[in-house]
Amino acid sequence: MNLLGTQPQASIEECAAPGLNRERGQRQVFCGLAGIVWLHRKIQDAFFLVVGSRTCAHLLQSAAGVMIFAEPRFATAILQERDLAGLADCNQELDRVAAEVLQRRPDIRTLFLVGSCPSEVIKLDLAKAAERLSEVYRGRVRVLEYSASGLETTFTQGEDACLRSLVPELPLLPSGERSLLVVGTLPDVVEDQFARLFAELGVGRLNFLPPRQASELPPVGSGTSFLLAQPFLGETARALQARGANRLSAPYPFGVEGTLGWLRSGAAVWEVSDARFEEVTAPAVARAERGLNRHREVLAGKRISFLPDSQLEIPIARFLQRECGMELVEVATPFLDRRLMEAELAWLPADLRLTEGQDVEQQLDRLRSDRPDICVCGLGLANPLEAEGLRTKWSIELVFTPIQGFDQAGDLAELFARPLVREALLRV
Ligand code: SF4
């Protein structure tokens, strides 16, 4: 094993939910390692040690755009051919590499061992390794593990697995107390906006998961209600429910409608009056509407298709159709958890072509015949589709850009307007 990476390297009742087509075939997706890029920026005292191959290291470093002097908080312990052939004791090597990392970075309080395709193929038991290392570093560093392998996952599932691994570590909320927990990585600027809005609404104890410091984990218990800020956190949601927390059903906070519905769901638990809700949200809604107006003109009437990649497809499609006037040609998502999407599905047109899963060749054939004005897809498909004269938007941009909340609604619309404006300029 070698260490790479510490050095440079409208109302919900309006519509009936649409039907669903299921596809099973070859898929074209990124793996869950991509989540480390935004997770390590958010959790500032955590280190992510991927146990993988050179491919994993290259993916991570190119996705994260590592700067030479930045000392990133992630690295890859490279499995060598000897490890893969079962000739070396990977556990000894892993212990050595972990010690090297923690000696070099005394500021680290949580170490995530991150599984990959190679570590899964050789059945390296990272759960046992995390237990062993937890004993060694008890009182100094918490050691957790999760899998981000691309064998059966999409790139946003890495965050779900990471947050899921934190849930058993959350302290217990004292009985008789209540709290609201916002679950899902949000840029700090967006988190601060939501904290201000909930405070003005009079919502009591508010916490975020993940926290900015892994050493400051939020409490959870039967008095906790939680709101998902991202739609791809099904495993984390189930783990929180198993600890007694109550998931609030809500649309996701994209655009004005989604953000209003999401905030209202949290406010309802604290019995905030309609008048107070309106008073607090009205200025932000007005700002969001002004931000959106500039882009509606470009987007209205344009046709859009989503290929399955980020699991953000359904709420983003809902926003583009209902608030920007776009026409949805096809919305495909890697997985559909109807419970987590209940509020969103009710807002989609009943005749929408909604697809779960992927058979990439068939999907590309449909795309070529539909020829939408813009297509949202993974990085690997974007360039070939552009070469065929189709305009594309990388779905991964939706997790790297602040898009939740009122003040980001205009920026979210702009992500889709920009390629269309550019194309119009090139045509002139
Ligand atoms: S798909 Fe598997 S082998 Fe490839 S980078 Fe991701 S975890 Fe590593």
pLDDT, tens digit only, all 428 positions of the chain: 555 444 333 344 445 567 889 988 888 778 899 999 999 999 999 999 999 999 999 888 877 765 545 667 888 888 876 666 665 678 888 999 999 999 999 999 999 999 999 898 888 899 999 999 999 999 999 999 999 998 878 899 999 999 999 999 999 999 999 999 999 999 999 999 999 999 999 998 999 999 999 889 999 999 999 999 999 999 999 999 999 999 999 999 999 999 999 999 999 999 999 999 999 999 999 999 999 999 999 999 999 999 999 999 999 999 999 999 999 999 999 999 999 999 999 999 999 999 999 899 999 999 999 999 999 999 889 999 999 999 999 999 999 899 999 999 999 999 999 989 888 787 76
Residue with CA nearest ligand 1 atom 3:
117
From the CB of 158, is ligand 1 less than 6 Å away?
Answer: no
Whether 149 is in the pocket of ligand 1, judged by its Cβ within 6 Å, is: yes
Counting atoms of ligand 1 from 1, which one is nearest the CA of 32? 6
Does the CB atom of residue 357 touch ligand 1 within 6 A? no
Looking at residue 311, its amino acid is Q
Name the helix (H) or strand (E) containing 90: helix 90-104
- Tell me, what DSSP letter sits at residue 18? P
CATH class of 31-153: alpha beta
- The Cα–Cα gap between 270 and 248 comes to 12
Q: State whether the beta carbon of 29 lies less than 6 angstroms from ligand 1.
A: no
Task: Enter the tokens of residue 9.
Answer: 């390297």
Reduce the DSSP state of residue 341 to 3 states and report it: helix
Q: How far is the CA of 149 from the centre of ligand 1 (A)?
A: 6
Residue 148 amino acid letter: A
Q: Angle, to 10 degrees, between the axis of helix 379-387 and the axis of helix 360-370?
A: 40
Q: Which CATH architecture has domain 179-276?
A: 3-Layer(aba) Sandwich (3.40)
The rounded Å distance from CA 31 to ligand 1 centre is: 6
What global pTM score does this model have?
0.92
Mutate which of 36, 53, 60, 114 for ligand 1? The one with the most ligand atoms within 8 Å of its CB, which is 53
CA atoms of 111 and 368, how far apart (whole Å): 45
CATH topology of domain 288-427: Rossmann fold (3.40.50)
Counting from 1 in the atom list of ligand 1, the atom nearest the Cα of 59 is: 5
With a 6 A CB cut-off, is 117 part of the ligand 1 pocket?
yes
| Helical spans, DSSP H, in 145-233 | 157-166, 188-201
Number of H helices, E strands in the chain: 17, 15
Distance CA 343, CA 314 (A): 11
Tell which atom from ligand 1 comes closest to the C-alpha of 117.
Answer: 2
Residues of the chain with CATH 3.40.50.1980: 31-153, 179-276, 288-427
